[in-house]
A and B are shown apart, each in its own frame.
Chain A
Amino acid sequence: AQSVTQLGSHVSVSEGALVLLRCNYSSSVPPYLFWYVQYPNQGLQLLLKYTSAATLVKGINGFEAEFKKSETSFHLTKPSAHMSDAAEYFCAVSYGEYNQGGKLIFGQGTELSVKP
């Protein structure tokens, strides 16, 4: 079955430190990969997506993620954390084009805390 695993339900970093949120997927077929962010009491906002072009994907707010097929990973990073980055981050995978009903399968989420 298709699945997404996010290692670490809670990650805490100091302001200015590197952010690394881990995501692994299970698939024998190259998927489409996404990171969404959810701020408190808000909806899901797309951070970035991988759709089989460049393996290093840059997103909004200084985040980027690298698709590594050999490791079936799509980890999210940001060089320097900001207090405003505190939120829940969800990795998601889709195995089809949207016009084939390509639903998203989400990981369980990682809550990022940023300490002053």
Chain B
Amino acid sequence: KAGVTQTPRYLIKTRGQQVTLSCSPISGHRSVSWYQQTPGQGLQFLFEYFSETQRNKGNFPGRFSGRQFSNSRSEMNVSTLELGDSALYLCASSFTGQRNTEAFFGQGTRLTVV
């Protein structure tokens, strides 16, 4: 069974640009969550989608947005990039998104903003 796939693995963007990251969940999983990992901050929750609907949102500015497609694949978009957006972006999929069901993480997309 294929794991969670995130593309691209690495990305370099310039301040002010926008970027779209993609996440393909494990087959059959309907919940996709996104996290940002920066040095010293741990993993911070961005948002969670289930059946194409955003169910939860973290404390990030509106420049961070996402969506989920009918096949459960999800994309995350960051507009007007800032240097502080440089981070590892991780997505996690689970069958239902319920707290007691295991979430499987992808390898992440390393975004560098210069």
Asked if A and B are interacting partners, one says no
Please list the residues of chain B having a beta carbon within 8 angstroms of any beta carbon in chain A. Answer: none
Please list the residues of chain A having a beta carbon within 8 angstroms of any beta carbon in chain B. Answer: none
